[in-house]
Amino acid sequence: MVMEAVRPVTMLRTPTEKAPEPDLGSKLINKERYTSPEFMKLEWDRMWTKVWNCAGRLQDIPEPGDYFTTELGSESFIVVREKPGPDGIRVYFNVCLHRGNQIRNPGMGHAESFQCTYHFFEWNIDGTLKHVPDIETFAQDVPMENFSLHEVKAATWGGFVFFNMDANSESLEDYLGIIPEHLDPYHFEEMYIVNDKTIEWDTNWKAAVDAFNEVYHVQGIHPQLLQMLDDVNVQIDLYPKHNRYLVPFGLVSPRYPDQEEITEPLRMMMRGAGFDPDTFEGAMADVRPAMMKGTRDTATKMGIDVSELNDDQMTDDYHYMIFPNLTFNIHATGFMLFRQRPHPTDPNKMLYDITNATRIPQGATPPARPDHEHYKHGEISLGLVLDQDAYNLPRVQRGMNSRAYEGLWINYKERRIRHMHQTIDDYVFGPDR
Ligand SMILES: [Fe+2]
């Protein structure tokens, strides 16, 4: 008798209910938080070195010995698969214990061991010291047993590798809180990278987070988006550390002058959902439901199981911010992730990582891994919407440095920004401040 596979009784579902609103006050947010080297140092000492940071994707290190580096602030780390399985990932500071040389240049590869190129000190992939040339010439001895690469905590979720420099930190699971429950229905672990870029942006890392955590600026910076999404009826939920908003797509904004016009961006979305706008006979109110059905049918036909996602998730942007610096635009079968990293020394600069990933049917061959690309500000177009943000952010940073500017005077619609600052303060000044 053949046993049938049994689906779990409880299906995964992203909760949609509104979270209770915390009282965040309405105080000015001091601009020095975006401009001063002193605050940058506080953030580094008390926050970046204490939180769980995203390093990259598990897909890049499938086999023992596969590794990639990840850079955060002034530090670099080697992320290596030591052995198969979920506990097989190790993360080391990318520094030779002999003379301080970085063991690997930024990038990815495969290693049977990590040999420093300076004097050929060599470490095993489990971090233990393997070989020291001319070891008898160290009068003080080299304690082979205790001269391992400095390791930090590593953990995985959703196909991502995370690391934490604080040996006493909470677990990744506790840190992520509601996030797995909310996002596991999308099956990030079945998504593969199709675009991977880093751009050096001339702004503080928080200004780049802020730019994606409110849609109040859509009418100003991205007027074309009023033709395809609702920037007014946006549910905002603030959780411990993390937050989200749910942006309805597949309709025109209440701010858009012609509420009955099936706009060109909507027609493009209809094609993306697998049907022809030229033969579509419905009215404006029928567009979004038709897109929901079309997207679900198309995914299902491709062999992608979207049964754990609700109808809104077929069209909308479920936009999550995982503190401190992961911003996810999530649609039915893929995500666009922004990782905002602090610059090593300059509060007026940052590194903006953009990664697109797409879900593939179970058992299908993943798309070829694109090379990582790195650019300076303005060197490459990221598409109209992100180009508009990229144009704007250096101007914001310069303005924040003006003696005439005191700080962020933000409204209720922008409260995800206030929420992030409160969480930063929990780290920098303590929860009992
Ligand atoms: Fe924007």
- Give the pLDDT confidence of 262-305 residue by residue, as tens digits: 999 999 999 999 999 999 999 999 999 999 999 999 999 999 99
**Between residues 190 and 432, the one the model is more confident about:** 190
DSSP 242-287: -EEEEE-BSS--TTSS-TT---HHHHHHHHHTTS-GGG----HHHH
Distance from residue 218's CA to the centre of ligand 1 (Å): 6
Distance from residue 332's CA to the centre of ligand 1 (Å): 21
- Closest CA relative to residue 273, chosen from 186, 333, 190: 333
Tell me how crowded residue 241 is: count the other CB atoms within 10 A of its CB.
22
Distance from residue 208's CA to the centre of ligand 1 (Å): 9
Domain ranges in the chain are 11-50+182-433, 52-168
**Between residues 333 and 7, the one the model is more confident about:** 333
pTM for the predicted model, two decimal places: 0.95
Taking the domain 11-50+182-433, which CATH number applies? 3.90.380.10
Distance from residue 217's CA to the centre of ligand 1 (Å): 6
In tens, the pLDDT along 391-427 reads: 999 999 999 999 999 999 999 999 999 999 999 999 9
Secondary structure of residue 351 in the 3-state scheme: strand
What is the predicted pLDDT for the residue at 86? 81
Is residue 336 predicted with pLDDT exceeding 60?
A: yes
What is the predicted pLDDT for the residue at 11? 80
What is the predicted pLDDT for the residue at 431? 85
Is residue 214 predicted with pLDDT exceeding 70?
A: yes
Distance from residue 391's CA to the centre of ligand 1 (Å): 10
What is the predicted pLDDT for the residue at 432? 84
Distance from residue 191's CA to the centre of ligand 1 (Å): 25
In tens, the pLDDT along 14-28 reads: 999 999 999 999 999
Residues whose beta carbons lie less than 5 angstroms from ion ligand 1: 389
Residue 252: band (very low, low, confident or very high) from pLDDT cuts 50, 70, 90: very high
| Domain spanning 52-168, CATH class | mainly beta
In tens, the pLDDT along 79-130 reads: 999 999 888 999 999 999 999 999 999 999 999 999 999 999 999 999 999 9
Q: Report phi then psi at 157, rounded to 5.
A: -160, 135
Distance from residue 186's CA to the centre of ligand 1 (Å): 24
Reported as type and span, the H/E element at residue 90 is strand 89-93
What is the predicted pLDDT for the residue at 433? 80
Distance from residue 393's CA to the centre of ligand 1 (Å): 9
